[in-house]
């Protein structure tokens, strides 16, 4: 153990003698790890938030279609839906989008429903009468309001409303709470000027989860102009969207990845004369080939591991403390209009291990292989 400790000590002193070169290598390595880790961290955080949002969503959401676009749906559809075999409960939902020109943010306005089990009140209560509302964290932050404050909304020149905040809430998913304002049903219908017999969409519970597709086909035959949206379809769609956008960002940094691969290949193809001479001297004074390989292993491990963990820390700070300012617009798309969204620190350990094996191990191997070629050569010829 003492001998191994001496080898490690000598490896660190060797790196210190070539500090400028090794620092340059570590800086490039850390930057690459930081970029790749940021993409993986942010993509996984968004996917996890989205799945948390959808896990409590209804099995089927029924929308009315006209000209290929979503429009209001008649509430009377519920009577017919309740008679379809397999349908447990059908309930209308009232919601809509509101663009706030004051803060350049998009809000989601939704009528309060007792089935909102995912909503957890932090302060106050849910709205019970016209002129009251409850808001999520993102809305409260961007509008700089709190309990018992007023929030003013305007839609065109007719629908103007001042709401008193009676509740602040959170949920399992920060995406849900970030841009949400909850009103009473009457307040929302009045604000959006919706007909009394129409709803935004209808949520449908299915008695047997394995029959969701069958029930959806029955609904589509009963209402040809409708579009049943299945919960599994939503989850699969969002998963594919974030994977696709993450792939686009990775492609943007393909040049940096290719440069790193070229760098590793260049390091694997040979070592410079100074390093070869050093290996020859070590062999001449009695070092075994295994000792030389052990030395080069620790040199490569010290550079790659320190760079790897430095890159991970930089990526974590960039994504979860600075909200991934450089990458978030690409992954969120149009949702950059939302109030400021802070992703929760969800990390996939499997992704970190994959990144480790694809970056650290090739670098260490590239440090050992050319040294082995010099270590098995005659010391005298190497020094000459």
Q: Using one digit for the tens of pLDDT, what is the confidence trace for 4-32? A: 667 677 777 777 777 787 788 888 888 88
Is residue 196 helix, strand or coil?
A: coil
pLDDT of residue 95: 92
Q: What average pLDDT is seen over the chain? A: 79
What pTM does this model have?
A: 0.69
pLDDT surpasses 90 at 94: yes
Distance CA 326, CA 322 (A): 10
Distance CA 219, CA 287 (A): 79
Question: Residues of the chain with pLDDT > 70: what percent?
Answer: 77
Distance CA 40, CA 150 (A): 40
Which comes out higher in pLDDT, residue 153 or 156? 153
Distance CA 121, CA 167 (A): 7
Helix residue ranges, H only, the chain: 2-17, 19-54, 77-82, 137-143, 174-178, 185-192, 212-222, 231-252, 254-269, 273-284, 289-320, 328-332, 349-375, 379-383
Q: 366 near 268, Cβ under 8 Å?
A: yes
- Token output for 113: 């429903």
- Reported as a single tens digit per residue, the pLDDT across 182-207 is 999 998 998 888 998 999 999 998 88
Cα 269 to chain centroid, rounded = 38
Report phi then psi at 306, rounded to 5. Answer: -65, -40
> Residue 336 burial (CB < 10 Å; 0-12/13-18/19+)?
middle
Three-point CA angle 198, 204, 206, nearest 5°: 160
Mean pLDDT for the stretch of residues 321-333: 69
- Reported as a single tens digit per residue, the pLDDT across 236-261 is 777 776 666 666 666 666 666 777 77
Q: Provide the pLDDT confidence category of residue 343 given band limits of 50, 70 and 90.
A: low
- Token output for 193: 């000027």
Distance CA 13, CA 19 (A): 10
Distance CA 184, CA 167 (A): 13
Which are the contacts of 37, defined by CB distance < 8 A and separation ≥ 6? 311, 312, 314, 315, 316, 352, 355
Q: End-to-end CA distance of the chain, in Å?
A: 33
C-alpha distances in Å from residue 254, one per residue of 123, 211, 262, 287, 324? 47, 44, 12, 42, 19
Report phi then psi at 285, rounded to 5. Answer: -90, 5
Q: Provide the pLDDT confidence category of residue 336 given band limits of 50, 70 and 90.
A: very low
Which comes out higher in pLDDT, residue 36 or 308? 308
> Residue 16 burial (CB < 10 Å; 0-12/13-18/19+)?
exposed
Q: Provide the pLDDT confidence category of residue 130 given band limits of 50, 70 and 90.
A: confident
- Token output for 70: 């979503």
Q: Provide the pLDDT confidence category of residue 312 given band limits of 50, 70 and 90.
A: very high
Mean pLDDT for the stretch of residues 87-115: 86
pLDDT of residue 247: 66
Enclosing H/E stretch for 67: none
């Amino acid at each position: 153990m003492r001998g191994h400790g001496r080898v490690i000590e000598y490896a660190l002193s060797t790196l210190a003698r070539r500090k400028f070169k090794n620092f340059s290598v570590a800086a490039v390595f850390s930057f690459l790890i930081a970029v790749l880790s940021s993409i993986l961290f942010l993509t996984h955080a968004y996917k996890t938030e989205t799945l948390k949002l959808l896990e409590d969503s209804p099995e089927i959401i029924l929308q009315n279609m006209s000209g290929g676009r979503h429009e209001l749906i008649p509430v009377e559809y519920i009577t017919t839906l309740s008679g379809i075999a397999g349908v447990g409960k059908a309930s209308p939902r009232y919601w809509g989008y509101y663009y706030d020109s004051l803060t350049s943010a998009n809000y989601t306005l939704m009528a309060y429903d007792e089935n909102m089990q995912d909503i957890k009140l932090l302060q106050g209560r849910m709205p019970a009468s016209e002129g009251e509302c409850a808001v999520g964290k993102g809305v409260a932050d961007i509008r700089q309001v709190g309990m018992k404050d007023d929030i003013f909304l305007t839609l065109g020149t007719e629908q103007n409303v001042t709401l008193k905040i009676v509740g602040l809430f959170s949920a399992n998913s920060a995406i849900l709470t970030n841009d949400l304002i909850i009103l009473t049903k009457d307040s929302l219908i009045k604000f959006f000027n919706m007909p009394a017999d129409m709803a935004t969409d209808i949520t449908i519970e299915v008695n047997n989860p394995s029959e969701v597709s069958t029930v959806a086909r029955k609904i589509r035959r009963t209402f040809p102009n409708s579009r049943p949206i299945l919960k599994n379809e939503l989850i699969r769609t969002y998963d594919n969207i974030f994977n696709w956008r993450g792939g686009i960002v990775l492609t943007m940094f393909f040049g940096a990845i290719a440069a790193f691969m070229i760098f590793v290949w260049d390091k694997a193809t040979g070592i410079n004369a100074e390093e070869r001479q050093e290996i020859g001297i070590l062999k001449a004074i009695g070092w075994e080939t295994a000792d030389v390989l052990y030395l080069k292993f620790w040199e490569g491990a010290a550079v790659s591991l320190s760079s790897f963990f430095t890159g991970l820390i930089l990526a974590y700070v960039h994504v979860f403390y600075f909200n991934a300012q450089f990458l978030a617009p690409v992954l969120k798309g149009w949702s950059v209009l939302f109030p400021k969204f802070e992703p929760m620190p969800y990390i996939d350990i499997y992704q970190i291990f994959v990144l480790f094996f694809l970056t650290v191990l090739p670098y260490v191997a590239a440090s050992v292989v050319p040294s082995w070629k010099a270590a098995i050569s005659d010391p005298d010829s190497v020094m000459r």
